C-alpha cells in the first residue's frame, strides 16, 4: 500500500485505469468524478489527497486524483500513482498569464517548462529537459480546436512559490523580494513564456525519468500584465474548459 495516496492496485479492480487526471484541488478531483464519470468509487481522502475511480461512457476506467499544492506534494503522488499502474497523467490546473494575448478564461497547454523547482532537482539534474509527451500534447491541442476553446500552446514557468517566486509584491505579506527576483516576470515574458504555475516542470521531468506519459492543461485565472489578482468569476469557465479538453482527449 503506497503510504500517501491511501490505495493500492487491488483497489482499482480487474480492469484498472492507466490514465489519471491530476488536479491540485481535491474539490476539482471530486467535481470531475461526480460530474463526468460513471460508477464512481472514492478510493481515499487521506491527507486531503482525494482520489476517485470512475468510468467514461465508453466504459474506460479513469482515475481522478489530487496532487496537492506545489511540486513536492505532486512528486510524492505521481511516484505512488506509477506504483499502482498509472501510465498516463494529464495535469488539469490553473495558472496566471504573463503575456497580454493569453486572456482570462482561456487555457494554456504546456509543451515544456522552465523548471525552477527543488523537487525536480532531486529527480534529475537542473539541465534535464522538462518536456511534455508530444502525443498527449497534440491530442489536447486538437481537442481544443475541435471544441472551439481558446487555447495557447507554449512554454510554462514552473516555480515553487506562489508569492515571491511569481514576483507578487502587492498581494503578498512580504513586499521585499530578493534582488534576483526583481523583474523576473518581464524577463520570462521576453523569453515568450506564457504563464506561471507550480507543478508542470516537476511532472515533466518525472515523465522522462520514470517512463510514463504526461501533459498539462491549465485554465487562465489571473492576467499578470494587468494585476496580481485571481479573477474569481473567470475561474469556473477556465477550469471547465480545461476539464472538457482533457476528458475529450482521452475518450
- Name the catalytic one among 30, 91, 152, 224: 224
Examine the residue annotation and report whether 47 is marked as an active-site residue of this protein.
no
- Name the catalytic one among 4, 45, 189, 228: 4
- Name the catalytic one among 30, 168, 197, 199: 168
Examine the residue annotation and report whether 4 is marked as an active-site residue of this protein.
yes
Examine the residue annotation and report whether 189 is marked as an active-site residue of this protein.
no
Asked if 251 contacts 58 with a C-beta cutoff of 8 angstroms, the reply is yes
Pairwise CA distance, residues 217 & 110, whole Å: 6
- Name the catalytic one among 25, 80, 197, 199: 80
HEC string for the chain: CCCCCCCCHHHHCCCCCCEEEEECCHHHHHHHHHHHCEEEEEEECHHHCCEEEEECCCCCEEEEEECCCCHHHHHHHHHHHHHCCCCEEEEEEEEEECCCCCCCCCEEEEEEEEEECHHHHHHCCCCCCCECCHHHHHHHHHHHHHHCCCEEEEEEEEECCCCHHHCCCCCCCCCCCCHHHCCHHHHHHHCCEEEEECCHHHHHHHHHHHCCEEEEEEEEEEECCCCCCCCHHHHHHHHHHHHHHHHHHHC
Pairwise CA distance, residues 53 & 237, whole Å: 25
Beta bridge partners of 226: none
Examine the residue annotation and report whether 80 is marked as an active-site residue of this protein.
yes
List residues with catalytic annotation: 4, 80, 168, 224
Amino acid at each position: 500500500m503506497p503510504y500517501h495516496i491511501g490505495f493500492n492496485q487491488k483497489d482499482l479492480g480487474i480492469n484498472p485505469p492507466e490514465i489519471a487526471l491530476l488536479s491540485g484541488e481535491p474539490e476539482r478531483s471530486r467535481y470531475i468524478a461526480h460530474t463526468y464519470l460513471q460508477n464512481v468509487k472514492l478510493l481515499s481522502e487521506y491527507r486531503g489527497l482525494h482520489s476517485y475511480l470512475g468510468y467514461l461512457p465508453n466504459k474506460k476506467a479513469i482515475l481522478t486524483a489530487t496532487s496537492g499544492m506545489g511540486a513536492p506534494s505532486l512528486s510524492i503522488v505521481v511516484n505512488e500513482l506509477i506504483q499502482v499502474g498509472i501510465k498516463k497523467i494529464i495535469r488539469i490546473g490553473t495558472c496566471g498569464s504573463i503575456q497580454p494575448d493569453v486572456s482570462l478564461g482561456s487555457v494554456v497547454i504546456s509543451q515544456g517548462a522552465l523548471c525552477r523547482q527543488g523537487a525536480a532537482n532531486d529527480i534529475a539534474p537542473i539541465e534535464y529537459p522538462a518536456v511534455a509527451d508530444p502525443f498527449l500534447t497534440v491530442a489536447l491541442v486538437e481537442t481544443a480546436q475541435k471544441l472551439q476553446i481558446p487555447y495557447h500552446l507554449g512554454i510554462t514557468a514552473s516555480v515553487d512559490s506562489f508569492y515571491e517566486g511569481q514576483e507578487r509584491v502587492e498581494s503578498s505579506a512580504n513586499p521585499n523580494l530578493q534582488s534576483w527576483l526583481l523583474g523576473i516576470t518581464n524577463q520570462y515574458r521576453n523569453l515568450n513564456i506564457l504563464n506561471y504555475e507550480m507543478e508542470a516542470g516537476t511532472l515533466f521531468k518525472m515523465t522522462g525519468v520514470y517512463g510514463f506519459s504526461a501533459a498539462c492543461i491549465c485554465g487562465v485565472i489571473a492576467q499578470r500584465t494587468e494585476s496580481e489578482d485571481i479573477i474569481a468569476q473567470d475561474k469556473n469557465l477556465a477550469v471547465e474548459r480545461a476539464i472538457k479538453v482533457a476528458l475529450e482527449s482521452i475518450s
